[in-house]
Structure 1
Amino acid sequence: MSARAVDEPHRTSSQLELLFDLTFVVAVAAVTAQLAHDIADGHGLAGLVPFLQVFFAIWWAWMNFTWFASSFDTDDIAYRLLTMVQMAGVLVLAAGVPAAASHSDYAVITLGYIVMRIGLVAQWLRAGREDPARRRTALRYAGGIAVLQTGWLSRLALVETGVLPSSLGLPYFACLAALELAVPRWAERAGATNWHPHHIAERYGLFTIILLGESVLAVSRGVGRALEADADGGPFVVIAGAGLVLLFALWWLYFLGPAGDGLSDRRHRSYLWGYGHYGIFTALAALGAGLEVAVERSGHETGSSPLALGYAIAVPVGVYLALLCAVHVLVVPQPVLVPAVVLGCVVVVLTLPLATPWTGMAGVAGVAGATAAVCVLLIAVTIRTAAARTRQRPEKDSTAAVTSPRAVRS
């Protein structure tokens, strides 16, 4: 197990990585369905913190595997078996989502998370043994991850025994999560790993598509329940149609920026770029839950008010647009997304639900339709701006060529 080249040509996701991603489909579906249930019961805010906690475990496990694979993927027998161990941990974690959300019982989720991390620690130990040049880095990763697992186990034990008050549960979690995020930066100080920028960009793009697919599935579940309840044709059709357009627009916006080239030129910003995707991925998962409940409510009453449903759509979209622009600006010298335009779109989207208390479900349908229209408009403006830049660049290049000393001498 030696480091792969950072400029390896034609580096793409392997079949094993694609299979690994399928286990996260199950985990994301479980946490999204639980959030949709909380929103439908009128407890969206109360369910938000458990949703963010569980999604952090899902995202962090996926991200650690992805960056390790980009550096040390050997695809041999040992690597495949240890990957299977991590996949088993994902499935255990997914099985524990309902208990965590309904009873604050994180025992099964913690068990699944630790199983995933055991597989990753074994991978890092193998890399440290077989790649002497990066031994210190690999051992730092293995040691840091292993120590933090004792922290998660102690948290579970303290909660189960009642020693840790419920008021300290979230601060304890936040502390451990911050330490998890600090491990890569600390480990890489001993020597940088050879992750492949275009491979990383592709992996993040694939996970984005998985989350968009989960949102499509969530909307389809809502459509099925609405049809069973003889939904009102007007709001039902508008919300369902606008949801599809909105998800397509968000996909389009994500892939407008050349992340691979940007990461290649600005490797030092990979931490902020990678960590910023937690908010992007979370927003997409939350949007699926919001759209599911909005479509379902057009068929029968739920515990959520129209204002809450409007913001269940608007807030995830606003967060997604803002963070997508932020991570794009980090790695691209001349951003495709214009920050001022994106900020304007975010403000408009977040103000749309304010009219829903007086307009009811028609207002929620209006929020969905208007949000989709704003995102489509953002795509149009972005493409038009990029085309204008492309036309101006040859003119500048030709002018510079004519006025250069070499051109004048010629």
Structure 2
Amino acid sequence: MHNTKYFEPNRRATWLELFFDLIFVVAIGDVTHILSHTHDGHLDPLQFWQYVLIFIPLWWIWASHTMYANRFDADDRKHRVATLFIMFLLIIISGLIDQRFLASFDVIIVCYAGSKYIVAMMYFVSKYRHKESEALTTAVGWVIVAGTTIGLASILFPAPQRYVVFYLGILFDLIVFIFFLPRRLQGIPAHTEHLIERVGLLTLIMLGESVISLSTGLANISWTVERLVTAATGFVTISSIWWVYFDSFHLLTKQKLATGHSVLYSHFFVFIGLSILASLIRHAILDDIVVSDFRVLSVIGAVCFFIGKQYGYFMERPALRRQLVVNTLIVFVLIGFALLLPRTGYILFGITAAVICYAFLSLRYLNVPPQRHDRPRHSAITGD
């Protein structure tokens, strides 16, 4: 494994990984656009479920590739070509989202399966490159092939059974990775600094999408004082979330992770929360959604973001658990009061105030020293 980037001093995300993240966020932006359409001020529940159902496979492609790159990225030609091809398949999926989602679901399934088979192939290739990782790469590769084949088999079924079969394939992957593969994955511990940087960079790009949503909300409308105040509130919301998310990031950066699951998988909820946040800001500026639907989106977005953000710290830093729970409950209570406000702009302002409050509450544990319990990477792999 010594010809991979795993042992590179001061390892950073590669330019290709940044490109990959950008393509992923473009696809997620198209998914989020599903939540932009309202009918007489209401958001159809089917729209939300469509949003979630297409978000899941896109995220799982990103997570699968990130898990591979974290341990086995050699940044060679084979890796680059394979990654670029996955990115092209993501672009195809992105183009089929929204109005053509149901009609083109077979194509989406095939593109998803193609992306996952490529990731499995990357693992199998690594097996021949790095003999010491053969047991892990073989096991993970075949798990991905099995789960992907289950998902691909869904094209043989009519709707709605095909949707059930497709997501059973993803569920199979998740269950095996979470419950049956941790011991093998711990044999080659996650590269903590790289993994934290990847999720942090993607979070930053997602926040950028929220800014785009804010500017889109102001485009082609008559500017009023109320709309400008709402837009300013939206920007403060984005800035506060950035502050809350990254202010305590150093507590994870120096923490040695084993599988990395606590950070990687919990960010599914972080990204869902940020995506919904972008939609909330746009709706608040345009005032094109009824307050009841805005409240529902606010609850889902806030809960997903804070639970997703807190889970990694909760699992990796046990000393912080009590404070994390207390702070999160306080924020949820404050957001609950904000939801009682009569207008969408007011609710957004209340949510912003709650996030700012959390930033002050978190000051108590920002200077907690990191804990290190893992063996060095080279000894973990070689057995020394």
Normalised by the size of structure 2, how large is the TM-score? Answer: 0.86
2:327 corresponding residue in structure 1: 341
1 CA distance for matches of 2:7 and 2:76? Answer: 22
User: Structure 1 residues 65 and 51 mapped into 2: Cα distance closer, same or farther (>3 Å)?
Assistant: same
1 CA distance for matches of 2:72 and 2:233? Answer: 42
Shift of 1:32: 0.9
2:225 to 217, 227, 233: 233
Aligned pairs, number:
364
User: Structure 1 residues 3 and 130 mapped into 2: Cα distance closer, same or farther (>3 Å)?
Assistant: same
Shift of 1:151: 1.6
1:374 corresponding residue in structure 2: 354
Give the fraction of aligned pairs with identical amino acids, expressed as a percent: 21
* CA displacement, residues 284-314 of structure 1 (integer Å, 9 cap, x when unaligned): 11111122122122xxxx4x31221243234
Shift of 1:253: 1.1
Q: Are 1:74 and 2:74 an aligned pair?
A: yes
1 CA distance for matches of 2:247 and 2:279? Answer: 25
Matches within 5 A, 1:133-148: 133-148=132-147
1:181 to 159, 162, 174: 174
Shift of 1:98: 1.8
The one-letter code sitting in structure 1 at the alignment partner of 2:352 is A
1 CA distance for matches of 2:142 and 2:40? Answer: 43
1 CA distance for matches of 2:335 and 2:103? Answer: 33
Report if aligned partners of 1:249, 1:376 keep a CA contact under 8 Å in 2: yes
Which one is further off, 36-45 or 243-252? 36-45
2 CA distance for matches of 1:181 and 1:40? Answer: 39
* CA displacement, residues 119-147 of structure 1 (integer Å, 9 cap, x when unaligned): 21221110112211211221222222122
1:403 corresponding residue in structure 2: none
1:295 to 254, 266, 285: 285
Select the structure that is richer in helix. Answer: 1
1:326 corresponding residue in structure 2: 311
Shift of 1:243: 0.9
User: Structure 1 residues 177 and 119 mapped into 2: Cα distance closer, same or farther (>3 Å)?
Assistant: closer
2:97 corresponding residue in structure 1: 97
2:269 to 264, 279, 298: 279
1 CA distance for matches of 2:151 and 2:245? Answer: 34
1:305 corresponding residue in structure 2: 290
2 CA distance for matches of 1:330 and 1:140? Answer: 26
2 CA distance for matches of 1:106 and 1:116? Answer: 15
1:83 corresponding residue in structure 2: 83
2 CA distance for matches of 1:78 and 1:282? Answer: 32
Shift of 1:3: 7.2
Report if aligned partners of 1:71, 1:196 keep a CA contact under 8 Å in 2: yes
2:217 corresponding residue in structure 1: 222
Q: Are 1:172 and 2:165 an aligned pair?
A: yes
Matches within 5 A, 1:106-145: 106-145=105-144
* CA displacement, residues 336-357 of structure 1 (integer Å, 9 cap, x when unaligned): 963212211112213422342x
Shift of 1:190: 4.2
1:259 to 248, 252, 263: 252
Larger Rg: 1
Q: Are 1:246 and 2:245 an aligned pair?
A: no
1 CA distance for matches of 2:181 and 2:27? Answer: 28
CA RMSD of aligned residues (A): 2.5
1:200 corresponding residue in structure 2: 195
* CA displacement, residues 99-132 of structure 1 (integer Å, 9 cap, x when unaligned): 455x464123212212211321221110112211
- 5+ long unaligned stretches in structure 1: 357-362, 394-410
Report if aligned partners of 2:150, 2:166 keep a CA contact under 8 Å in 1: no
Q: Are 1:354 and 2:340 an aligned pair?
A: yes
2 CA distance for matches of 1:93 and 1:374? Answer: 36
User: Equivalent residue of 1:42, what SS?
Assistant: coil
Matches within 5 A, 1:387-406: none
The one-letter code sitting in structure 2 at the alignment partner of 1:272 is S
The one-letter code sitting in structure 1 at the alignment partner of 2:313 is H
User: Structure 1 residues 215 and 273 mapped into 2: Cα distance closer, same or farther (>3 Å)?
Assistant: same
Shift of 1:38: 4.8
User: Structure 1 residues 72 and 39 mapped into 2: Cα distance closer, same or farther (>3 Å)?
Assistant: farther
Runs of 4+ residues over 6 Å off in structure 1: none
Which one is further off, 174-183 or 245-254? 174-183
User: Structure 1 residues 40 and 15 mapped into 2: Cα distance closer, same or farther (>3 Å)?
Assistant: farther
